[in-house]
Every structure is written in structure tokens, then in C-alpha cells.
Amino acid sequence: MDTVSDRHLKVTVMTTEDGRAIRYDSDGRKLCAGIVKHTGQPCMLPAMSKQDVCQHHGGKSSGPKRAARLKLLDLIEPALATLAREMASTTNKPADRIRAAENILDRAGVSRVHTIETDDARALLMMKIEEARAQAEQTVQDMSKELESNEQAGEAAEEAAADRERE
């Protein structure tokens, strides 16, 4: 990080990983990356929000904004694929998988907040209890039928053995 005084304005220059120099004024605002034509000096106006240049050097044009939107759209599918891999991975912590699932649901527009009224919860619980009770009764009936058929088969086998002994 270099600090350069330019007339009345103190400018701080930071270099990004890709080698681009980003200038900031003494108030910490990002400065325009454009060059003033008649002086050949860097523009000293603040860059527009989320832009590299001021309004005089193309900050109001829709081209860069559209390009940025398209770039983000191109990143959606790879990001979702990464989230899906994280969610399905068994080597990751459960909290990481839950966070990945929540991100996917957020992007799909599914709300994480669900409210259940106590009356609804009771009704749901009673329904589940009735289903379990009905299933248990059906299992008991099936087992008693099987037991009866086994007993009948055993009686038939005993009768057949007795008939063989008589002969």
C-alpha cells in the first residue's frame, strides 16, 4: 500500500492480486480509474458505487452493469453444483451440509421459517398415533392368522401321521 499526495488530496494506492492499482482518497472512497484527456493525469473524482470509474468516464453506462450481471448468471450453475456436492458429501461436517442445503433452498425461494400452531401439532400427533395404532392392529391380525394357519397345518400333519400309523 502506497500513499501519494496529489496537490490537496492524499491518495492511497492498493495493488490487487492481478496487479491492478486501486486508488482511494483520504476519506477512504475509491477513486476513478479513468484518465483526464487534457492533462493525462488520473481522474481524482470518486468512482461510482460498485464501479471502477466516475460518471464522466462511463460509470453511468449500462454495459458494465449488464456484463457484471451476465458474469454472475454464468456463476450460478457452478455454485449450485458446488453446494450440491458439499451437501451430499459425507466427509463434511453436518453443519456444513446443512448450510449448503439452506443456501440451495434460499436460492430456490423456500423459506427456512415454518411455524406450527400447537393445535396443528396436536392434530398431526394424534393422526400419527392413530396410524401407528391401526398398523399395530393389522400386524396383530396378520400374526394371529399366520398362527391359526400354522396350527391348522400342524393339526393336519398330526392327523396324517396318525392315519399312517393306523394303516
pLDDT tens digits, one per residue of 8-56: 668 888 887 888 888 888 888 899 988 999 999 999 899 888 788 898 8
Question: Quick check: is 160 in a domain?
Answer: no
The answer for 29, left when phi > 0, alpha when psi is -120 to 50, beta otherwise, is beta
Question: Quick check: is 114 in a domain?
Answer: yes
Could you give the number of structural domains in the chain? Answer: 2
Pairing of strands 21-24, 9-15: antiparallel
**54-112: per-residue pLDDT in tens?**
988 888 877 767 777 787 777 777 777 777 777 777 787 877 777 777 777 776 666 66
My answer on whether 78 and 125 are in the same domain is: yes
My answer on whether 68 and 126 are in the same domain is: yes
Distance (Å, whole) CA 101 – CA 112: 10
The domain in which residue 99 lies consists of: 62-130
Question: Quick check: is 88 in a domain?
Answer: yes
Question: pTM score, two decimals?
Answer: 0.37
CA 87 to chain centre: 8
Percent of the chain with pLDDT over 70: 84
